[in-house]
Amino acid sequence: MTDPGTVAAALRRQAIELPSWAFGNSGTRFKVFSRSGVPRTPREKIADAAQVHRFTGIAPRVALHIPWDAVDDYAALAAHARELGVGIGAINANVFQDDDYMLGSVAHPDPRVRRKALDHLLECVDVMDATGSTDLKLWFADGTNYPGQDDVRARQDRLAEALAAVRDRLGAGQRILLEYKLFEPAFYTTDVPDWGTAYAHCRDLGDRAQVVVDTGHHAPGTNIEFIVAFLMREGKLGGFDFNSRFYADDDLMAGAADPFQLFRIMYEVVRGGGLDPAAGIAFMLDQCHNIEPKIPGQIRSVLNVQEATAKALLVDSAALAAAQAAGDVLGANGVLMDAYATDVRPLLAGLRADQGLDPDPMAAFARSGYQERIDAERVGGTPAGWGA
């Protein structure tokens, strides 16, 4: 049986990074929905993220997106975060929201556009230097919509050249986290469409580049836990963007669509030692709360990941190994299902109480009055978000 003390110790070390953009207005390609109290500045986004950490105790970092979170003084922004009890996490580049990038960014056929995109990536490394961030997260919308539109192989050469230039600019302790996505907005070819392409580029870049697995960026039915296990075996899993999907890149709350999948993923993480901080795996949310309130949506997502992790830690590894060695198919599956069927909410409530936190973070936030206060205070100005 799994030792409860070991489970609790592992859960106390867990950290889940929050995306600053989750606190702004968002929506579909057709409509962005507005809510009251939405942050207007990066400082207000960080203040909202700090509330998630205040009530969950396991969300100590906030990822930034540049230029969505551009400020004049990044060191001051990092100091503001520290004052609120959180730190700056990954810096996310944006080379997809500019007219110049219609045909791509670092893989664009025009050298001028490629240079513009590379300069932005290097600027993001400057932001890392100023904030103390160690992770540069790169996602490229680059690709083509029609056969013959561009030279597919040449685009890979251009991508590799840009990635190498960024790697060479990194400072001590900094790394590239390369994200992939099956499709959208490129519908014929995407330049980084899958984990294999991302892995190949990161392998060529060396030990300063690793792959990010966004749980919404796969074809239906993809076995994501296999990808996780393989990348961990190769030492190339750098992090996650947790969210849920039903059809494509839905960016719903983590664990909402298929909590069993999230459990299976977290089991492979636990099995491979990925919860150890030395493993260097960044666990981040990447979600857009289109119709639900932002802060409670982030709290619920953090709790869903925490519950999946607790269940994964409860798997009886000795019993599982014995059943696997004996070829006991149903017995092995039963060991996993027993852990998944365990109600871990009392365990987590007790853990929070031991840490001086409210056992029910959702209810505690609702009682705090914070949402009512920002609804009243954040009147005027331009709410953060992206247009559609």
**Which pair of tokens denotes residue 256?**
């909402």
| Local confidence band at 387 (pLDDT 50, 70, 90 cut-offs) | low
- Split at pLDDT 50, 70, 90, the class of 185 is very high
CA atoms within 13 A on the CB side of 15: 18
For residue 181, what are the CA distances in angstroms to 41, 143, 193, 254, 270?
Answer: 29, 11, 5, 17, 25
Joined tokens for residue 374: 């920002």
CB-count burial class (<10 Å; 0-12, 13-18, 19+) for 360? middle
Mean pLDDT on 99-112: 98
341: Cα within 13 Å, side-chain hemisphere: 6
Using the predicted structure, report yes or no on whether residue 201 has a pLDDT greater than 60. Answer: yes
pLDDT (tens digit per residue) in 281-312 = 999 999 999 999 999 999 999 999 999 999 99
Per-domain boundaries in the chain: 14-314
- 118-130 tens-digit pLDDT: 999 999 999 999 9
Helix (H) or strand (E) holding 178: strand 175-179
Match 């953060």 to its residue by tokens.
384
Residue 388 has pLDDT above 50, yes or no: no
The confidence band for 28, taking pLDDT boundaries of 50, 70 and 90, is confident
DSSP result, 56-98: HS---EEEEEETTT--S-HHHHHHHHHHTT-EEEEEEE--SSS
Cβ(20)–Cβ(63) under 8 Å?
Answer: yes
Question: CA–CA separation, 83 vs 115, rounded Å?
Answer: 37
pLDDT band at 264 (very low <50, low <70, confident <90, very high): very high
Question: Can you point out the beta strands (E) in 243-375?
Answer: 282-285
- Predicted confidence (pLDDT) per residue in 203-251, tens digit: 999 999 999 999 999 999 999 999 999 999 999 999 999 999 999 998 9
144 by DSSP, 3-state: which?
strand
CA distance 101 to 345: 46
Under CATH, what is the fold of the domain 14-314? TIM Barrel (3.20.20)
